[in-house]
Amino acid sequence: MKTPTIKIYVILLLLITGLYSCKKSFLEVEPKGKLIAKNTNDYNLLLNSPFFNAADIDGQLFLGDELTSTEPYFKNMFTLKSKRSFQYADVIYEPNEDGSEIKALMKQLYTYNIVINEVMNSEGGTDEQKLTLKAEALTNRAWIYFMLINYYGKPYLEATAATDPGFPIVTAADVTLNKFERASVKAVYDFMINDLQTAIPALPISAGNRTRVSKSGAEALLGKIYLFMGKYQEGLVQMDNAFSHLPTTYRVELYDYNVTLAVNGTWGYNPATSPSGFLLGAATVTDNLEVLFPKQLSNNYTFLSNDLLLNAQTVGLYGAKDQRLKLLSSNYYGGAPIKATAVKRKIGPVLVQLGMSMPDMYLIRAELKARTSDIAAAKTIMETFLKNRMPAADAVLNITDQTAMIKFIIEERIREFALQGHRWFDMRRLSVDPIFAGTTYAHQALSETGEVVGTFPLKPERFVFRFPAKVINANPGMPDNP
């Protein structure tokens, strides 16, 4: 049997070297080390690697319309990238800078493609084991493309998706490839769907642990993809399946914030000290009961940074008994008071989940029920969810209108995922939704006392990122976004 060769970055070198230079294709990987994978378990170990967290995939954190920034933090914002992103600038990266989103995701794609292409020829495992490992890699590849198409492709619109430029589809782990063409938005979505439909039958109900891919995780991701396509009935089937197939050997469930955020409760909330610091929440992905399909990054903006705050409009969405108010503070990190009226700092959780989590699944399922006219089911799901975020008496809904229910669920997504990056993806998909037609977005920078010192409107063309100049220069003829 031919021994497959896996060329990957040594993790330390990944941290200190770039993925590509201006003379190389942005999808080219130049291996610094070599690992010979011969046995099925070698591929299994590759999928265990913490390398597949979502570090550096933070481009969407600065973009949601729930945010504001105050002086002097706005002027001295943490990075040039974050400031330009907050300003909805056309150009985010300097000409010599790598795009961190592409760089991080391409590292992962290379290894997943190796597993997909080679594991079936590996030694020592059963066909069932090999198919499961391939299915895990296919699911992860679908997630990578979900992220990439939501950065670089227009929001999915059936009438134009076949001609809207998307992102190059790469299925080979070949470092000699040097020519790439942007596939259409539709082609990328079809690619993701095919990967997941292939993967789901081979995935177990309970993966070995929370960091590995289960059947439910892949079904939930497929349901989310269908939601973003406006294919609501197809999405509902998959999300219902995901709830039916939740793992049984480890707990996956909502946290009850009435308990975890009780004063001196399990997450350590203390009204005397927490507002000046931060709340970690679940310390690790393996401890986080709400995580089903983990893609995790550390969020400096709910941790040690004062650069991004929640604007008054967002703060006003929370009810008086909502336990999530304990995750908002009227103090900057360190204790100084925020003088801008009704502006709050988010003080946790520190770890953002960009894969599939139970809060996301509950809210997606409720939205899919509402969009397929099952308002009663949407109401039941939402009340179950809300009882875990506030006292039961405050979790009762009296909504019977379909549009009103959909809008309530979208607002609930803002409350639940404030400063976690999800809002940007929602803004994109809602920009082609007739219910939200005419909605405009802008960020405002405020003085220390709350006066507006800068307004940055979001232009329709900035619902997509432009490619870094380094990428375009490395791939002559590949069109950029406007």
Query: What integer pLDDT is reported at residue 37 of this predicted model?
Result: 73
Looking at the predicted structure, is the pLDDT value of residue 33 above 90?
A: no
Instruction: Note whether residue 289 is domain-resident.
Output: no
Instruction: Note whether residue 406 is domain-resident.
Output: yes
Respond yes or no on whether the N-terminal peptide bond of residue 72 is cis (omega within 30° of 0): yes
Instruction: Note whether residue 342 is domain-resident.
Output: no
Looking at the predicted structure, is the pLDDT value of residue 29 above 60?
A: no
pTM reported for the whole predicted model: 0.92
Q: Across the chain, what does the average pLDDT equal?
A: 90
CA distance 316 to 259: 24
Q: Could you read off the pLDDT of 169-186 as tens digits, one per residue?
A: 999 987 666 678 899 999
Residue range 302-328: average pLDDT? 97
Residue range 312-317: average pLDDT? 98
Query: What integer pLDDT is reported at residue 286 of this predicted model?
Result: 86
| CA angle (124 as vertex; 246, 106 as ends), nearest 5 | 60
Query: What integer pLDDT is reported at residue 178 of this predicted model?
Result: 64
Instruction: Note whether residue 325 is domain-resident.
Output: no
Query: What integer pLDDT is reported at residue 281 of this predicted model?
Result: 87
pLDDT tier at 283 (50, 70, 90 boundaries)? confident
Instruction: Note whether residue 282 is domain-resident.
Output: no
Lowest mean pLDDT among 20-24, 35-39, 391-395, 477-481: 20-24
Instruction: Note whether residue 227 is domain-resident.
Output: yes
- For residue 184, what are its two tokens? 């259409």
Instruction: Note whether residue 446 is domain-resident.
Output: yes
CATH (domain of 91) = 1.25.40.390
DSSP 170-222: -----TT-----PPBHHHHHHHHHHHHHHHGGGS-SS-SSTTS--HHHHHHHH
Instruction: Note whether residue 334 is domain-resident.
Output: no
Secondary structure of 79-142 in the HEC alphabet? CHHHHHHHCCCCCCCCCCCCCHHHHHHHHHHHHHHHHHHHHHHCECCCHHHHHHHHHHHHHHHH
Lowest mean pLDDT among 74-83, 237-246, 370-379, 422-431: 74-83
Query: Which is more confident, 130 or 10?
Result: 130
User: What burial class does residue 36 get, using C-beta atoms within 10 Å of its C-beta: 0-12 exposed, 13-18 middle, 19+ buried?
Assistant: exposed
Question: Do the bridges between strand 296-298 and strand 351-353 make them parallel or antiparallel, or are there none, so unpaired?
Answer: antiparallel
Looking at the predicted structure, is the pLDDT value of residue 105 above 70?
A: yes
Longest dimension (CA), the chain: 70
Domain of 209, in residue numbers? 5-254+354-474
Looking at the predicted structure, is the pLDDT value of residue 319 above 80?
A: yes
Query: What integer pLDDT is reported at residue 5 of this predicted model?
Result: 31
- For residue 209, what are its two tokens? 């642990």
Query: What integer pLDDT is reported at residue 340 of this predicted model?
Result: 98
pLDDT tier at 6 (50, 70, 90 boundaries)? very low
Q: How many domains does the chain have?
A: 1
Q: How many helices (H) and strands (E) does the chain have?
A: 15, 12
Query: What integer pLDDT is reported at residue 54 of this predicted model?
Result: 82
Residue range 300-314: average pLDDT? 95
